[in-house]
Copies of this chain bind each other. A is one copy, B any other.
C-alpha cells in the first residue's frame, strides 16, 4: 500500500489491548454461543454505560448482519422500513433487507439525516391500504453515511413523531462512537436508550476485530431475538471473541477514547483543508470528511494516498471521502496536508 490509507476505518486489526486480552484468556475453557463469562460481563459493563439495565444486549459480527436481524425480527411481512436514500441498508447491503422480505421506503436527504417531515411524506403517500406496504420502522444512522451527526433535539423530534405514529425507531450505530464524541454532539449514550427502540454500538469501525452490540430497549421487542441471531447465521460458536472485545472496550472508556481520536484526526485534517479554502460536500462533523477538490489534485493525491472518490461535482471537481480511525497517526494527517500544500 501507499503512504497511508484514508479509505476507511477498518484497514487495521484491533486495538492492542483487545488482542492482549484475547491472548490472556485464550485457553480458559468457556461455554459456546455467547454464554461465556466475558460476554456476560461485557453486557453488564455496557448496561452500566447505558445507565440502565433494562435493555437486552446481543453481540453479532457486523453491521449488515445487525440490520438484517433487527429489521426482520421486528417487522411483519407487509411492513416496511423508512430510510434515507443514502442509507446503508438502501445502498450498500446488496439487497439484504429485501432478501428478508421487506421493502425500504426512501427519502431524499442531502445530509444523510431524516426528519419528521420526511416520514410524514412517506406515510401520506402510503394511504391506499392494503395495496401498499405499511411503513412501520424508521432507520437512521448516527453518525450518518456522510459523517453528519444528529442533535439531541433532532433525535427527540424523531422519537416523538415515531411514538405518535406507532413507528419503531432504529439507529444504526456502526459509527456511533464517532457520533457520540463528535465536537458538536450533545447526545449521551443514555439518551439513545430513551429516544430509540433499538440501536447498535459498532465495534468493528472503532477498534475491534469485528463485533456490534445490538441494544433492544423495549422488553416487548426483546422476545425471541436470540432465535433470529441463530437463524441468520450470526451466532458464533466462540461467542467469547465478541464478549472479550466489548469487555475491553467498555471496561473503562476505551471505546470513547478511540472514537475521540478518530474525530480529532479528522478535525485536524478538516481544519487544515478549510484553511486552504477547500469546501466540503457536507460540513465535517465526525471522522469521515468529504472535501471537494479539482480532479487534477485528486489524481496527484491518489499517487500517495488511498481514499474513495465519492461523487463527481462537475466537470472539474469531485468530492472525495477521507476517513480517520482510532489508528490514524497524526503524522499521516500532516503528510497528507503537507503533500496537498505542494500540489494545490
CB of A210 within 8 A of CB of B238, answer yes
Which residues of B sit under 8 angstroms from A68, Cβ to Cβ? 232-233
CB of B1 within 8 A of CB of A29, answer yes
CB of B95 within 8 A of CB of A131, answer no
Contact of A22 among B19, B33, B61 (CB under 8 A): B19
Contact of A234 with B by CB under 8 A:
yes
Contact of A93 among B25, B28, B77, B131 (CB under 8 A): B131
CB of A94 within 8 A of CB of B234, answer no
Binary flags per residue of A169-197, CB closer than 8 Å to B gives 1, else 0? 00000000000000000000000000000
Chain B nearest CB from A311 CB (Å) reads 11
Contact of A260 with B by CB under 8 A:
no
Q: For residue A205, which residue of chain B has the nearest CB?
A: B237
Contact of A204 with B by CB under 8 A:
yes
Binds B, one of A48-56, A97-105, A269-277: A97-105
Chain B nearest CB from A75 CB (Å) reads 10
Binary flags per residue of A14-38, CB closer than 8 Å to B gives 1, else 0? 1010010011011111111100000
CB of B61 within 8 A of CB of A61, answer yes
Nearest first, the 8 closest Cβ-Cβ pairs linking A and B are: A65-B233, A78-B227, A13-B26, A130-B226, A10-B237, A95-B133, A11-B29, A95-B103
CB of B80 within 8 A of CB of A241, answer no
CB of A232 within 8 A of CB of B76, answer no
Chain B nearest CB from A27 CB (Å) reads 5
Q: For residue A6, which residue of chain B has the nearest CB?
A: B29
Contact of A132 with B by CB under 8 A:
yes
Contact of A4 with B by CB under 8 A:
yes
Docked pose: A309 CA to B137 CA in angstroms: 28
CB of B14 within 8 A of CB of A230, answer no
CB of A95 within 8 A of CB of B91, answer no
Docked pose: A64 CA to B23 CA in angstroms: 26
CB of A224 within 8 A of CB of B92, answer no
Contact of A113 with B by CB under 8 A:
no
Chain B nearest CB from A97 CB (Å) reads 8
Contact of A330 with B by CB under 8 A:
no
